[in-house]
Amino acid sequence: MPETLARFIAEHAPVAVLTGAGISTASGIPDYRDHNGNWKRKQPVQHQDFMGSATARQRYWARSLYGFPIMMKAAPNPSHHVLSQLEQVGLVSRIITQNVDRLHQKAGSRTAIDLHGRADEVICMSCGLRRERRLMHELCALLNPAYTSLSAEAAPDGDADLEADFSHFQVPACPDCGGIMKPDVVFFGDNVPRPRVDECFDTINQSGALLVIGSSLMVYSGFRFARHIHQQNKPLAILTRGKTRADELASLKLDADIVTTLSALSR
């Protein structure tokens, strides 16, 4: 199986790579969906709810006190390192990731595109002030000491499976203008900025093929790139556990463990 993937990359290099949550589970970051593409838990916060509801923001930031440190402390696994190496030798043109964990960058990737943004920064939705997210959490903990003693299980993208009374949780506002501070990520229900989408299409247009790793492609923001490569009559390969939305478009589908396959590919 690794030999088949090695031939695919060698024959179509440089190959664009699109990664999803499945590549980061080996780093201890939970994913959203099971092998059938179904939700494992309730859907994450919606953009309109976060922006329009103080209650939704209280719930989000309280739960993030437990979930985000898991992501912040996560280290790249062998899969991230293999892709970085392939990028450095020119076999991979560029990595497009649906993840917001920055693990590709930590593994040495210099050109990875964070399709859905980056979770390690927050931005004011009124004045555009940008800050390290770590500072937001330090202030949340300082303002809400009663919430720091609770326990919870980590959920995807810095969330946590925690249910409590969040009505007294104090959410810090923008220190410059008092606006809403939001993680610099594309929440469900929001749109990926058009320049970023165009950058991804340009990458695919200049590549010989697309390799999808660890994504079910159930979300349109990722699926459109699989559809685009197919419309260009260029090959699509998928390496992930379970089914995806683009299985019928793929010329190569590997239902296999990602770390094992990519580690063997590297050797």
Active site members: 116
Quote the tokens at residue 23. Answer: 């590549």
List the beta bridge partners of residue 46: 188
Quote the tokens at residue 5. Answer: 């993937």
d(CA 109, CA 247): 27
Q: What are the C-alpha distances in Å from 79 to residues 60, 69, 138?
A: 30, 22, 31
Give Rg (Cα) of the chain.
19
Q: Are 82 and 266 in contact (CB under 8 A)?
A: yes
Widest CA span in the chain: 58
Structural element, H or E, at residue 49: helix 47-52
Structural element, H or E, at residue 238: strand 236-239
CB atoms within 10 A of CB 39: 11
> Which residue carries 């970023």 as its tokens?
196
Backbone angles phi, psi at 257, to 5 degrees: -65, 130
Cα torsion 74, 85, 238, 101 to 10°: value is 20
List the beta bridge partners of residue 132: 121
**Is the Cα torsion angle 182, 187, 189, 193 positive or negative in sign?**
positive
